[in-house]
Structures are given as C-alpha cells and as structure tokens.
Amino acid sequence: LVVLGIETSCDDTAAAIVKGNGEILSQVVSSQADLLAQYGGVAPKMAEEAHSRVIDQVVQEALDKASLTEKDLSAVAVTIGPGLSLCLRVGVQKARRVAGNFNLPIISVHHMEAHAIVARLMEKELQFPFLALLISGGHNLLVLAHDLGQYTQLGTTIDDAIGEAFDKTAKWLGLDLRKSGGPAVEQLAREGDAESVKFSIPMKQHKDCNFSYAGLKTQVRLAIASRNIDAKVPISCASSQDRSSRADIAASFQRVAVLHLEERCERAIEWALKIEPSIKHLVVSGGVASNQYVRARLDHVVNKYSLRLVCPPPNLCTDNGVMIAWTGIENFRAGRYDPPPPAKDPEDFKYDVRPRWPLGEEYAEGRKLKV
C-alpha cells in the first residue's frame, strides 16, 4: 500500500507519500509564512492563490523524492475539512485529478483526526481508546478517541485557540514572524522570568474541559502597552532592558497559557477514565504540541495518572502531508474510501468539502458534572 496525502486546509501546502507499514517515503511542505508576515494574517483568497501556485510542484516533489510516479500509488488521501473552503478545494481538486487520471481510490480525511491519528504512525503501541489534546492555530480540542472515526468531544475553545494567542503575542512583542509566532515566543520565553507578570488563568470558575484564550490575549496586550513596548521595534533592535521585559511577558504568557491546558487535561483525564477506563495514553498534537515547555508540563500531568504522553515529532505536529496519508491508510484499511473519480472531468466541483466539520459528538453529561 502506497498512499499520497495532500493537505491545503489553511496556510501550508503539503504532500507526502507513506507506505502501509508506516515508512515515510517523502514529505514536502510549502509554507505561506512569508506572505502572512507581510499581510498580517490569512486572507482566504490570497491563501487559495498561493496553494494553486504551488500545489502541482509540491505533489511532484513528493513523488520525485520518493522516486515514484503516480502509477506506483495505491490511493490518494486528501483533507476535505475543517478549514478554509477555498483552500480545501485546491487540494481536493488536485487529489481528484491525480486519482481520476490514474484510476486510484480517493480517501477523504478530517484534518483534526489526522493530527491525532498520526501519533499511531510513530507509536505502534498506541491502541484505541485514547485521549487526545489537539492544539493549533484554529483549534483547541480535548477528544476521547474510541476508534477510527469515533470521537467524543470533551472540550473545545469558546473563543480563540492557544496557537492564535501565541501568534498574537509574537506579533505584539515584535518577534520575527517569517517563521510562525509560536516557536519565536517559546524561544524568547527561555530568557524570561515566568512569574514576573501576573496573568490570570482563564475559566478557573468553570469546572469543565473547555478553553478560552481571548481574555489572556487581552491581558498580554495590556501588559505590553503598559510597559511601552513598541512592536514596530523588532526584538533584534531592542535595548537589553526592553528585551528582558519582552522576554518576561513571553515567559509569563506561556506559563499561564499552558497552566490552562494542564488544568483542563487533568479534568479530561478524570472524565475519560470514567467513560473508557482502559485508556493508557494522552496524545498531544497540532502545531502547539511541538513546544517543549508544553510537552514537559503535560508529561508531568499524565504521570500523576500513570498514563503515557505521546507527542509526534515537531514536523508531524504542525500541518503536514504525512498525517493525511497515514490517516488515509487507516481509513482505507477500514474500507472507508471512494472509487476513482471520472477522469474526464477533473475540474468538476460537485464534490464534498466540509469547512466546518466537528470531530465527534459533544459530551453532554460532562457539562452537568459537578466536580
């Protein structure tokens, strides 16, 4: 089994080729970070154009690096949601063109499920059921994975995701945004005193597993304003006093942002153990899971419950094609795929994309639990 995975749900155009035994034959990611830094955010139309410009090249490079041609593929897997509709279409259209021309089955993949399932590629012992914390720029989810395609959502964000808070903090601190904001904040935080700025932990009074990062973002913005930090002065030009004050904010923000994760994870583990007492793992994935501080703190949490933390390597935590190919392989084995699309009309837009696509049912009782 040799599967091509294609990912275009947000701002990275990615493709990869993975074998049924888990061997990664190639992996290519083309990032729009430069464009984002220039315009200060994702504009769907611009992102769509950027995907369209590079998609053929990214897929070709994945084939070349694997020393394969389309004829060697068994199937094509593609993200159909959630994400920006215009962007998803670029990937789906490409997948259908390849599948149509080479008579290959096509596998529709849920982007957030793929963030979780890729952990099974790295960790062969990771069996269902398991708990997963998925943390990225657009999502903050705690889900109980019962089986492939079967999830219970224990918590989600009521406003922003943690990655969004990292990205804005980076921007307001004048960090280099050509790479994404998260790693820049993580790096600067190492120089700072995490106890120096007193941010409050979000949603302390809500005894559930939901998240909120909008309030913390505001606290960070106010702290920056009150210290007269000017984001227009890049960190590389800041005086040493200015730099250390920015580092203190970065460290204090990161500490509290992650304390919120820790608290929610503890509760989610307690809920999850009641629903599925056999769980042994907490999977942490999505871009923010590449943060070493996040990993260390959550490792501490799972140890209390004698669970194991499973984090994919950083390049498989951020958006990538491998996770799409691998989730495609698991779905293919479960018989979940579509027959090859007609080769004649590859531009046909009647296919499904699912820009909003929840991952599983919400856990209703959880909300009523008085802890």
Q: How far apart are CA 77 and CA 91, in angstroms?
A: 10
Q: Is 31 in the site for ligand ATP (CB under 6 A)?
A: no
Bridge partners (DSSP) of residue 28 are 15
Residue type, 240: S
Q: Which residues bind Fe ion (CB under 5 A)?
A: 136, 319
Lay out the site mask for ligand ATP across 220-239 (x = CB under 6 A, - = otherwise): --------------------
β pairing state of 12-19 and 2-7: antiparallel
Q: How far apart are CA 96 and CA 339, in angstroms?
A: 11
Q: Is 118 in the site for ligand ATP (CB under 6 A)?
A: no
Instruction: Indicate which single residue of 51, 55, 144, 166 sits in contact with ligand ATP (rule: CB under 6 A).
Output: 166
Compute the least distance from the CB of residue 115 to Fe ion, in Å.
6
Handedness of CA 223, 225, 229, 231 (dihedral sign): positive
Q: What angle do CA 286, 133, 277 make, to 5 degrees?
A: 145
Structure token digits, residue 71: 């004829």
Compute the least distance from the CB of residue 136 to Fe ion, in Å.
4
Burial class of residue 196 in the structure, from the number of CB atoms within 10 Å of its CB (0-12 exposed, 13-18 middle, 19+ buried)? middle
Q: Which is nearer to Fe ion, 136 or 169 (CB)?
A: 136
For the chain, the maximum distance between any two Cα atoms, rounded to a whole number of angstroms, is: 65
DSSP alpha helix (H) spans, 206-239? 214-226
Q: How far is CA 277 from the centre of its chain?
A: 27
Query: For residue 338, how many C-alpha atoms fall within 13 Å in the half-sphere facing its CB?
Result: 18
Structure token digits, residue 208: 């559930």
Instruction: Indicate which single residue of 105, 181, 192, 340 sits in contact with ligand ATP (rule: CB under 6 A).
Output: 181
Q: Is 253 in the site for ligand ATP (CB under 6 A)?
A: no
Q: Is 137 in the site for ligand ATP (CB under 6 A)?
A: yes
Partner touching 202 among ligand ATP, Fe ion, none, CB below 5 to 8 Å by kind: none
Q: Is 8 in the site for ligand ATP (CB under 6 A)?
A: no
Partner touching 283 among Fe ion, ligand ATP, none, CB below 5 to 8 Å by kind: none
Instruction: Indicate which single residue of 153, 290, 327, 331 sits in contact with ligand ATP (rule: CB under 6 A).
Output: 290
Partner touching 291 among Fe ion, ligand ATP, none, CB below 5 to 8 Å by kind: ligand ATP
In what order do the strands lie in the sheet containing 75-81? Answer: 24-31, 12-19, 2-7, 75-81, 106-110
3-state secondary structure of 132: strand
Q: How far is CA 65 from the centre of its chain?
A: 25
Instruction: Indicate which single residue of 105, 182, 202, 321 sits in contact with ligand ATP (rule: CB under 6 A).
Output: 182
Q: Which is nearer to ligand ATP, 87 or 99 (CB)?
A: 87
β pairing state of 24-31 and 75-81: unpaired
- Residues 96-115 within binding reach of ligand ATP (CB under 6 A): 111
Q: Is 48 in the site for ligand ATP (CB under 6 A)?
A: no
Q: Is 51 in the site for ligand ATP (CB under 6 A)?
A: no
Q: Which is nearer to ligand ATP, 166 or 337 (CB)?
A: 166
Compute the least distance from the CB of residue 241 to ligand ATP, in Å.
25
Instruction: Indicate which single residue of 91, 129, 286, 321 sits in contact with ligand ATP (rule: CB under 6 A).
Output: 286
Compute the least distance from the CB of residue 325 to ligand ATP, in Å.
16
Q: Is 312 in the site for ligand ATP (CB under 6 A)?
A: no
Partner touching 139 among ligand ATP, Fe ion, none, CB below 5 to 8 Å by kind: ligand ATP
Q: Which is nearer to ligand ATP, 111 or 217 (CB)?
A: 111
Q: Is 287 in the site for ligand ATP (CB under 6 A)?
A: yes
Is the CB of residue 94 less than 8 Å from the CB of residue 53? no
In what order do the strands lie in the sheet containing 281-285? Answer: 308-310, 281-285, 130-135, 140-147, 150-155, 361-362
Residue ranges that bind ligand ATP, judged by CB under 6 A:
9-11, 83, 111, 136-139, 163, 166-167, 180-183, 186, 286-288, 290-291, 318-319
